[in-house]
């Protein structure tokens, strides 16, 4: 049988599975400047992993407090990434959606006998808990965000979970939380905290001593606010209350460096052999920090600022062919200091490829392999995909020269996929295959982009001619 290249599957190995003792280091690399949080949470993970966690209650219950944009949610995402290989593996309940007493039914389902009880699917089921675990680790992370907004009936319900590790659902079945870490986050006391923090505007002004004082003052504000809002039974069942500090200048610079490294990784992954390297001058870093970080929002705006000021302009330049493969892209600040200046140095004049790469996307397995066999004989490198997810992976990792795409792709939409690929790589030849044609409005959108359509039934020779024609036309234009 022919050998075709299937796109590699994403892997999700947990580093914890290999070296549990690294969790503190790994977590503090991801969550910067909040060592108190790491020190409070990690022992509970170890306790669970060693099998020593007490039975009949969750493996750990934490209340995370402190100013906005300081890493509370980021901590839980980082733990999810380390335990399960995916930062989204969190069962998150937005308590803002449960402010009314009767809204408990959305969480646990309505009891039988209530109208529509079958339609209310509870959010907190055993199944939902299992879905946020992984093969590497069966510990589920449950986040109740903005817990201060939850109705009292919800906090009462939560008491049962904290006390016995059990939640009884409307239909009288129960959910076991012994294999979960429960996180509550809250902005309780944050207005008062801001008043305490404000004298330190500029982040660097605080000396080491006043920083320690500030931490203690913030902790007592946070605890005071918590005691006012929640019953003593609730507070007593929390294993650790962690108050997040405002980020200091050093922490913020490290976060920026992380984000810039993530941007470089993204460029390498998405552009493959057309990658370029990004170098950011200290002035440009200062520019990004000034716009992305504030006392009010912490580092919350930093990612968006990088996206707007850097990623988007870079993407435009790549699309216009202004950044050549292998180039060095230097980011500095314009003389007037009001914008970033992006200068591209060097790089190849043309992408030199030995062979033409063709990606064929069709959910009809037989047709897919038949076409692949025919094209392989032309000496082209063939990638195949049977659905949208495989197609995206192959497209973004390998950047084929030609994409042959079926319009009807099972659950995926070949038309939308084609437009997405065209927007990302306008020079790639995207050929849409269809049996029954498509609606007029879609036809005119496709024609408007100047992209070809291949109507089924067609002969193998038709496809080969079309692809050959497209490639040689492009080669002639490039040589001109
Ligand atoms: N300590 C930190 N380490 C690394 N990144 C951070 C840190 N604090 C904030 N960030 C960055 O800022 C973004 C927002 O932080 P996060 O969502 O954790 O804020 P939060 O403390 O949960 O705020 P809120 O109270 O508004 O929910 C994160 O996605 C991350 O990019
Ligand atoms: Mg948050």
The reply to whether 5 falls in a domain is no
**Residue 378: per-residue pLDDT:** 85
Per-residue burial over 382-412, b if 16 or more Cβ lie within 10 Å, else e, is bbbbbebebbbbbbbebbbbbbbbbbbbeeb
Decide if 456 is inside a domain.
yes
Tens-digit pLDDT string for the chain (480 aa) = 334 444 433 333 344 443 445 889 999 999 999 999 999 999 999 999 999 999 999 999 999 998 889 999 999 999 999 999 999 999 999 999 888 887 777 888 766 665 555 566 788 899 999 999 999 899 999 999 999 999 988 888 899 999 999 998 888 889 999 999 999 999 888 888 888 877 554 444 455 557 678 888 888 888 899 899 899 999 999 999 999 988 888 999 999 999 999 999 888 877 877 788 999 999 999 999 999 988 778 898 999 999 999 999 998 888 888 888 889 999 999 988 889 999 998 876 444 455 788 999 999 888 899 999 988 888 888 999 999 888 988 888 888 889 999 998 887 889 999 999 988 888 888 999 988 777 888 888 888 888 888 888 888 888 888 888 877 776 666 555
> Cβ(158)–Cβ(234) under 8 Å?
yes
Specify whether 301 is located in the same domain as 407: no
Q: Do both 164 and 255 map to the same domain?
A: no
Angle CA(293)–CA(295)–CA(297) in degrees, nearest 5?
65
What is the pairing mode between strands 180-186 and 60-65? Answer: parallel
- Considering the domain architecture, whether residues 91 and 187 belong to the same structural domain is answered as yes
Supply the CATH number for residue 284's domain. Answer: 1.10.8.60
Nearest protein CA to atom 6 of ligand 1, as residue: 71
Structural domain contains residue 3: no
The residues, ordered by sequence, that sit 6+ positions from 37 with a Cβ below 8 Å of its Cβ are 31, 64, 71, 75, 242, 244
The reply to whether ligand 1 has any atom less than 6 angstroms from the CB of 300 is yes
pTM for the full model?
0.68
Choosing from 212, 230, 246, the residue where a domain stops is 246
CA–CA distance, 94 with 276 (Å, rounded to integer): 40
Ligand 1 atom at minimum distance from 69 CA: 19
Q: Do 30 and 72 lie in a common domain?
A: yes
**How many domains, in total, are found in the chain?**
3
Which of 211, 229, 246 delimits the end of a domain?
Answer: 246
72 CB near ligand 1 (under 6 Å): yes
Within a domain: residue 228?
yes
Give domain status of residue 87, yes or no: yes
Q: What is the model's pLDDT at position 30?
A: 93
In a domain, 340, yes or no: yes
Residues 77 and 220 both lie in one domain: yes
What sign has the CA pseudo-torsion 285, 288, 291, 294?
Answer: negative
Q: Are 337 and 457 members of one domain?
A: no
Q: Which of 29, 73, 77, 252 to mutate to test the pocket of ligand 1 (most atoms within 8 A of CB)?
A: 73
The enclosing domain of 221 has a CATH number of 3.40.50.300
Assess whether the C-beta atom of 303 lies below 6 angstroms from ligand 1.
yes
Residues 6+ apart with CB under 8 A from 81: 30, 87
Q: Are residues 235 and 262 in the same domain?
A: no
pLDDT recorded at residue 255: 95
In a domain, 1, yes or no: no
On the CB side of 186, CA atoms within 13 Å amount to: 22
Residue 20 shares a structural domain with residue 160: yes
Tell me: do 96 and 162 sit in the same domain: yes
Q: Is 90 exposed, middle or buried (0-12, 13-18, 19+ CB in 10 A)?
A: buried
What is the best residue among 299, 302, 303, 304 to mutate for testing ligand 1's pocket, by most ligand atoms within 8 Å of CB?
Answer: 299
pLDDT at 199: 58
Is 234 part of a structural domain of the chain?
A: yes
pLDDT of residue 351: 45
187 lines ligand 1 (CB under 6 A): yes
Per-residue pLDDT of 316-329, as tens digits, reads: 888 888 888 889 99
Q: Is 34 in the pocket of ligand 1 (CB under 6 A)?
A: yes
Q: Residue 424's domain is classified under what CATH number?
A: 3.40.50.2300
304, 324, 345 - which closes a domain: 345
Q: Are residues 40 and 95 in the same domain?
A: yes
| 234 C-alpha to ligand 2 centroid (Å) | 21
Q: Does residue 291 share a domain with residue 382? A: no
Ligand 1 atom closest to residue 75's alpha carbon, by position in its atom list? 18
Task: Count the neighbouring beta carbons within 10 Å of the beta carbon of residue 149.
Answer: 16
Q: Which domain holds residue 365?
A: 357-479
31 and 97 housed in the same domain: yes
Cα of 49 from ligand 2 centre, angstroms: 26
pLDDT per residue as tens digits for the range 281-317: 999 999 999 999 887 788 989 999 999 999 999 988 8
Q: What is the pLDDT of residue 80?
A: 96
């Amino acid at each position: 049988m022919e050998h075709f290249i299937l796109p590699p599957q994403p892997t999700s190995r947990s580093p914890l599975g290999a070296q549990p003792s690294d969790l503190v280091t790994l977590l503090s690399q991801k969550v910067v400047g909040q060592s108190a949080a790491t020190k409070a949470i990690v022992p509970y993970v170890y306790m669970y992993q060693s099998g020593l966690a007490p039975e009949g209650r969750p493996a750990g219950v934490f209340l995370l407090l402190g100013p906005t944009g300081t890493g509370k949610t980021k901590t839980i995402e980082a733990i999810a990434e380390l335990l399960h290989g995916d930062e989204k593996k969190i069962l998150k309940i937005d308590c803002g959606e449960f402010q009314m007493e009767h809204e408990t039914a959305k969480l646990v389902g309505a009891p039988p006998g209530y109208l529509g009880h079958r339609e209310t699917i509870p959010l907190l089921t055993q199944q939902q808990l299992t879905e946020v675990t992984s093969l590497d680790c069966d510990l589920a992370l449950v986040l109740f965000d903005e817990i201060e907004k939850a109705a009292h009936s919800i906090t009462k319900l939560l008491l049962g979970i904290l006390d016995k590790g059990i939640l009884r659902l409307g239909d009288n079945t129960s959910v076991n939380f012994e294999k979960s870490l429960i996180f509550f986050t809250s902005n309780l006391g944050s207005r008062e905290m801001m008043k305490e923090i404000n004298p330190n505007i500029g982040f660097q002004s605080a000396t080491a001593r006043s920083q320690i004082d500030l931490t203690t003052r913030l902790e007592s504000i946070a605890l005071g606010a918590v005691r006012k809002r929640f019953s003593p039974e609730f507070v007593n069942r929390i294993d650790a209350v962690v108050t997040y500090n405002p980020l200091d200048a050093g922490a913020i610079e490290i976060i920026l460096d992380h984000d810039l490294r993530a941007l470089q990784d993204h460029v390498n992954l998405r552009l493959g052999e057309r990658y370029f390297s990004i170098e950011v001058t200290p002035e440009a870093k200062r520019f990004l920090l000034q716009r992305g970080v504030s006392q009010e929002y912490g580092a919350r705006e930093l990612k968006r600022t990088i996206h707007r000021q850097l990623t988007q302009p870079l993407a435009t330049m790549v699309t216009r062919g202004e950044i050549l493969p292998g180039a060095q892209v230097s980011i500095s600040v314009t003389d007037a200091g009001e914008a970033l200046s992006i200068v591209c140095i060097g790089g190849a004049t043309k992408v030199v490829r030995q062979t033409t790469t063709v990606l064929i996307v069709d959910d009809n397995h037989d047709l897919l392999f038949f076409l692949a066999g025919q094209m392989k004989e032309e000496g082209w490198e063939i990638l195949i995909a049977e659905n949208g997810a495989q197609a995206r992976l192959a497209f973004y990792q390998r950047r084929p020269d030609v994409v042959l795409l079926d319009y009807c792709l099972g659950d995926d939409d070949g038309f939308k996929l084609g437009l997405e690929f065209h927007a990302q790589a306008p020079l790639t030849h995207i050929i849409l295959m269809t049996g029954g044609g498509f609606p007029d409005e879609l036809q005119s959108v496709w024609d408007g982009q100047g992209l070809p359509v291949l109507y089924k039934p067609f002969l193998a020779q038709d496809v080969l001619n079309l692809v050959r024609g497209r490639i040689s036309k492009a080669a002639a234009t490039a040589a001109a």
